[in-house]
């Protein structure tokens, strides 16, 4: 697989997000199967793996650490701090928590769960309005100096906050939701990344599965699946947004590809500093998604997509209000 650079951090051009192994989409698969899929992704060229203390909490970091331990020196591991999780009990409290003492403690615990000496890329999962971002960046700077962290990232942060953090310690990557049906970063965050030389990592590049064309208005969604509470996954929203999937299917048919591959290829074509991370529980989907790297979207293809998209109105907020309130601060 081709490589890309996140502000000097070399990674595979497509990364693997592991949140789907943490009961986010319903009951988790067997541990052995999850490890097989994660290692299978590496066998197929992925060198960039993403987790977080909040996934579980904690269980996902332990899983990723076990899966990647035999190939630790061949991969880049990203994890995150920032939600209000009791570091003794694992109980999730309200809101966010990026107090310096919490950040230091989370890093120590994450290192142990992952079984590594240094976190390659440490994201602030969500901005904490109660803690100046300069303090957060300063703590991460200390952790970098101590050899516990290599690179600093931020997730779902506003452009002005990113700029302030970057002035204290270089930000390597911004991770925010970005896809053909969620284009919020285009207004301010992506131009800032281009200006400052920061990498950008789109999460949910396939619209939580919707852009693959395998979900429509009639697809049942289990109550334990987070999409059951998502405004964009109501029956009405899925029916209204089908026009976007139809567009992807039309482009895919002309390329001998799948809608998922076109959605990922579109992101790869947006800028060379963009490295999307997809999530799946199935190895065949890993193989399918990685095939996006072999697809070239011509200027005419991109113009067709843009023209068609400009005539659409995506229905439904991308996240429930309880989650969306923590974004772009």
What are the catalytic residues?
Answer: 55
- Alpha-carbon distance of 326 to 324, in angstroms, equals 5
Chain-centre distance for alpha carbon 11: 14
Closest CA to 263 of 289, 242, 284, 286: 289
Q: Which two tokens stand for residue 248?
A: 């992807």
Report how far residue 304's alpha carbon sits from residue 324's, in angstroms, rounded to the nearest whole number.
31
């Amino acid at each position: 697989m081709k490589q890309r650079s996140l502000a000097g951090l070399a990674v595979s051009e497509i990364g693997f997000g592991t949140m789907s192994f943490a009961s986010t989409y319903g009951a988790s698969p067997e541990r052995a199967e999850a490890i097989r899929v994660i290692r299978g992704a590496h066998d197929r060229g992925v060198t960039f793996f993403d987790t977080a203390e909040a996934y579980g909490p904690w269980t996902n970091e332990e899983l990723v650490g076990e899966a990647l331990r035999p190939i630790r020196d061949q991969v880049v591991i990203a994890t995150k701090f920032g939600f209000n999780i009791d570091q003794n009990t694992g109980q999730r409290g309200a809101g966010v928590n990026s107090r310096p003492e919490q950040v230091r403690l989370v890093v120590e615990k994450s290192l142990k769960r992952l079984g590594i000496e240094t976190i390659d890329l440490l994201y602030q999962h969500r901005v904490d309005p109660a803690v100046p971002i300069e303090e957060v960046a300063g703590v991460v700077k200390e952790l970098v100096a101590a050899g516990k962290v290599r690179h600093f990232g931020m997730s779902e942060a506003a452009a002005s906050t990113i700029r302030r953090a970057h002035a204290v310690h270089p930000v390597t990557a911004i991770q925010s939701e970005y896809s053909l049906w969620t284009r919020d970063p285009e207004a301010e965050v992506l131009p800032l990344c281009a200006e400052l030389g920061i990498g950008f990592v789109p999460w949910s590049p396939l619209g939580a599965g919707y852009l693959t064309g395998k979900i429509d208005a009639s697809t049942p969604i289990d109550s334990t699946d987070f999409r059951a509470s998502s405004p964009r996954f109501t029956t009405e929203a899925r029916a209204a947004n089908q026009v976007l999937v139809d567009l992807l299917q039309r482009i895919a048919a002309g390329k001998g590809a799948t809608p998922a591959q076109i959605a990922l290829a579109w992101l790869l074509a947006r800028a060379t500093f963009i490295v999307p991370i997809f999530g799946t529980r199935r190895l065949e989907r890993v193989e399918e998604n990685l095939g996006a790297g072999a697809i070239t979207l011509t200027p005419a293809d991109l113009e067709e997509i843009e023209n068609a998209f400009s005539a659409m109105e995506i229905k439904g907020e991308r996240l429930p209000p309880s989650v969306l309130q923590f974004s772009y601060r």
